[in-house]
Chain A
Amino acid sequence: MAPVVGIVANPVSARDIRRVVANATSLQIADRANILLRVLAALQACGVRDVLMMPENGGIRAHVERGMMRARSRGEDIYPALHPVAMPITGTVADTHRATAEMRRAGVSALVVLGGDGTHRAVAAECGTVPIAGISTGTNNAFPEHREPTITGLATGLAVTGRVPPHIAFTANKRIDVSLINGANGGAVTEMALVDVALVTERYIGARALWRTENFRELYVTFADPEVIGMSAIAGLLEPVGRDESGGLMVRLSPDGDCRKAATTLHAPIAPGMMARVGITDWRRMPADVAFVPEVTAGSIALDGERELSFSERDRLSLTLRDDAFRTVNVAAVMRHAGQNRLLTGTPVPVAAF
């Protein structure tokens, strides 16, 4: 049976205050639809004939269907059939959770995700062992790699049709589990982050994004990449930690953002075009499966760059990094393998079965 690929395209990523406090990108609906058409064409070229898609009211699917209709009217058979998941639309993150779960149950071989770190986190929460192929349409986008979507679609298609061995096609990723137990009623909240958890002193969610460095206190990252922006950049410019190595990094920042009290002052890109000085007290490796209890006793928890939860002195907060938490399509490895084995030529080199 031909593999089926799922698509989650968030119509509302990249809409936050960083369009004003920084110079972040605004990606319009038509741009998102064009990205999707590029992915679909690549999937079809690899032999994928059916694609499931999260329904939304943002207009992405309407634009995509318009593009597909145009191709059909020209007699071009360049896109797979697109099937919306039958589910109600709420216009919230619950749609991503539900659509991902439905597509996982339907047996999709991979999930192509258009969104920022938050969208990818929502998919990762429900995808189980289904690999994610991430496409960056958000703001900071530390998790999805920046790449032409056609290539991401090609790699996904080659991976799910079995033309690239799984140990090359897919790679393991880390996450940080956040446990918050309410001291007043004993209620527990569990959340996760794919890239970073930042503890800040603001005790309100507000405009969600992080940009006031004076409020940063503690930072936990799954990988510390000096080539990205946002919280991971702070860690990455102190001590790089790869996506593919075990554990992450924990960084403590100086109180009140006072660089004079800091052991180290770092100049870091915390948002698009926004360089900021942050005072660093110290940092250390964060081994996998070890629960960290923060020193900060009250404030907000930002997951992958956005404030999501508030906590008080009465609550109990712990953070635990997990290796091998979910899978992604290793686009670079797939495409390298495709080139080395001439998979897209008429006479591909036979792939060794191992």
Chain B
Amino acid sequence: MAQNPFPLGKDELLKAYRTMRTIREFEERLHVDFAKGDIPGFVHLYAGEEACATGIMMHLNDNDRIASTHRGHGHCIAKGVDVHAMMAEIYGRSTGACRGKGGSMHIADLSKGMMGANGILGAGAPLICGAALAAKVRGDRGVGITFVGDGASNQGTFLESLNLAAVWNLPVVFVVENNGYAESTAMEWAVSCDSYVDRATGFGMPGVTVDGTDFFAVYEAAGEIIRRARDGGGPALLECNMVRFYGHFEGDAQTYRAKGELEAIRATRDCLTILSERVIEAGVIGRDELQTIDREVNALIEDAVRAAKAAPLPVAEDLLRDVYVSY
């Protein structure tokens, strides 16, 4: 094997690939099972965007908090939330991460620093300011990461949070996952600037734009931004330009896309292909090693679905449990 010319060791590279592949298989399976009518509620798939969540979360530990979006499965998996618990949650089973009462848009696991997916657009940003303030007061070098889509970035909550984080110099990273569409509205119709870096600058913090389909681009930029936040350098914004392989929600006919657009992005901007070709070409990881991971991930997802389907549904008495928490 050749000398490793990458910023991560081989084990870390394999871990990144495994995470991205797990997200992809998780989402591909949900796409199929939702179409069959097996899954209650809405799902919004993260397929195509795996490099963003993975490249960022590789720099975090369980003490760091993230606040996610309605499209949160990828964030959860990359942050270490148990795949079986996630699948059960999406299937609405009592073994789920939130005992089957949250579903796709409310998966949370505080033990992993995952504060929750969020069905309210732009709602994660104020939450993460609170978590970051707590980390700052404790002085434990924890950071908070919040994700927002290009559409939700227009919400007042997000813009107010940029201001708050700047004023309080909080260890927050605002990640704009720019997949080009707010549901069905292309961003040039709804966002007053081409780059979110402009918005960061307006609130007195640095902003950086990267190719969100390139794991190494996200990893490298996120590493510098997160380190800056841990060191007391304050908030920053990271814009990841990326693509989603499915509609805004499952069932979305995507009539707003140009003809051939989806085929083109799958052929040229698949972050998993970009990563695997890069590490194989460099001679650091063999194709067979990645194929082994593919098989293991397939088995994991299959087992998660099997277990979820076999698990019991919540009962009526569970309805009022977990509404309040004593502390």
Name A's B-contacting residues (CB within 8 A).
11-12, 15-17, 19-21, 26, 28-29, 56-59, 91, 201-208, 298-299, 310, 312
Contacts and interface: CB of A to CB of B under 8 A. Distances in A.
Contact of A57 (B188, B201, B225, B281): B188
Interface stretch (B62-70, B77-85, B215-223): B215-223
Interface in B230-280: 236, 239, 278
A140 B170 CA distance: 29
Interface in B170-199: 188, 192-195, 197-198
Given A20-B208, A26-B197, A26-B198, A204 B192 contact: no
Contacts of A207: 208, 210, 216-217, 220-221, 224
A91 B195 CA distance: 11
Contacts of A204: 5-7, 214, 216, 278
B209 A298 contact: no
Interface of B: 2, 5-7, 188, 192-195, 197-198, 200-202, 206-210, 214, 216-217, 219-221, 224-225, 228, 236, 239, 278, 281-283
Contacts of B228: 20
Contact of B224 (A20, A201, A205, A299): A20
B193 A58 contact: yes
Contacts of B208: 15-17, 19-20, 207
Given A204-B6, A204-B278, A58 B195 contact: yes
Contacts of A29: 193-195, 198
A58 B194 CA distance: 4
B194 A206 contact: no
A12 B196 CA distance: 10
Contact of B5 (A15, A56, A202): A202
B278 A26 contact: no
Given A26-B198, A29-B194, A57-B194, A17 B224 contact: yes
Contacts of A206: 7, 214, 216-217, 219-221
Contacts of B192: 59
B166 to A, nearest CB: 14
A15 B214 CA distance: 16
A95 to B, nearest CB: 12
Given A20-B225, A28-B198, A57-B188, A15 B209 contact: yes
A330 to B, nearest CB: 32
List the 6 closest A-B pairs by CB distance, nearest first: A58-B194, A203-B5, A15-B209, A206-B216, A19-B206, A57-B188
Given A28-B201, A206-B214, A17 B220 contact: yes
B158 to A, nearest CB: 18
Contacts of A298: 2, 5
Contacts of B239: 15
Nearest to B188: A57
A205 B216 contact: yes
A127 to B, nearest CB: 24
B5 A201 contact: yes
A5 B197 CA distance: 30
A105 to B, nearest CB: 26
A17 B7 CA distance: 16
* Most central of A20, A21, A201 by chain B CB within 10 Å: A20
A15 B216 contact: no
Contacts of B281: 310, 312
* Most central of B195, B209, B216, B283 by chain A CB within 10 Å: B195
15 contacts: A12-B194, A15-B195, A15-B239, A17-B221, A17-B224, A19-B207, A26-B206, A29-B194, A58-B195, A202-B5, A202-B6, A203-B282, A207-B220, A298-B2, A312-B283
Contact of A26 (B5, B207, B220): B207
A218 to B, nearest CB: 15
B217 A205 contact: yes
A21 B228 CA distance: 9
Given A26-B197, A57-B188, 8 more contacts: A15-B208, A17-B224, A19-B197, A20-B225, A26-B201, A58-B193, A203-B278, A207-B210
A11 B195 contact: yes
Contacts of A20: 206, 208, 221, 224-225, 228, 236
Contacts of A58: 193-195
A20 B283 CA distance: 31
Contact of A12 (B201, B209, B217, B278): B209
A206 to B, nearest CB: 4
A29 B188 CA distance: 14
